[in-house]
């Protein structure tokens, strides 16, 4: 049987719509892996449809995965420092380093 991570209220939806199925709770490791697969699935759906609704699905998966992947919030602290230092992506700035092979390290 192939198990798929679904939204929390899917049992109610399935029951209301006459859809049968078997449910179980994933182990923590299985949950992490399922969230990673779901992240890739939602991103692929966005690329395929270019529908902003898929971005909200992606956001839901990220909001669930982040605390699972970063329970001590150390990555969050590094991220805050990075965005404080480098900003976000709202100004639409594009960059092509000259010469391109000059930049050897990832910007962190």
DSSP secondary structure letters along 26-91: PPHHHHHHHHHHHHHHHHHHHHHH--HHHHHHHHHHHHHHHHHH-TT-HHHHHHHHHHHHH--STT
Residue carrying the six token digits 């000259």: 98
Task: Write down the pLDDT at residue 60.
Answer: 98
Nearest CA among 53, 58, 23 for reference residue 41: 58
Proportion of the chain above pLDDT 90, given as a percent: 85
Confidence grade of residue 97 (pLDDT, cut at 50, 70, 90): confident
pLDDT above 80 for 99: no
- pTM for this model (two decimals): 0.81
Proportion of the chain above pLDDT 70, given as a percent: 91
Between 95 and 36, the more confident residue is: 36
Average pLDDT over residues 2-15: 94
**What is the distance between the alpha carbons of residues 101 and 67, in angstroms, rounded to a whole number?**
36
**Rg (Cα) of the chain, in Å, rounded?**
19
Question: In the chain, what is the greatest distance between 2 CA atoms, to the nearest angstrom?
Answer: 61
pLDDT in tens, 35-54: 999 999 999 999 999 999 99
């Amino acid at each position: 049987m192939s198990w798929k991570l679904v939204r929390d209220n899917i049992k109610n939806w399935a029951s209301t719509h006459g859809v049968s199925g078997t449910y179980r709770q994933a182990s923590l490791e299985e949950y992490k892996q399922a969230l990673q697969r779901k992240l890739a699935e939602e991103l692929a759906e966005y690329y395929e449809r270019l529908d902003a609704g898929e971005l909200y699905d992606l956001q839901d998966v990220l909001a669930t995965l982040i605390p699972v992947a970063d329970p001590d919030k150390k990555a969050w602290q590094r991220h805050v420092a990075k965005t404080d230092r480098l900003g976000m992506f709202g100004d639409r700035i594009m960059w092509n380093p000259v010469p391109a092979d000059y930049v050897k390290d990832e910007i962190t």
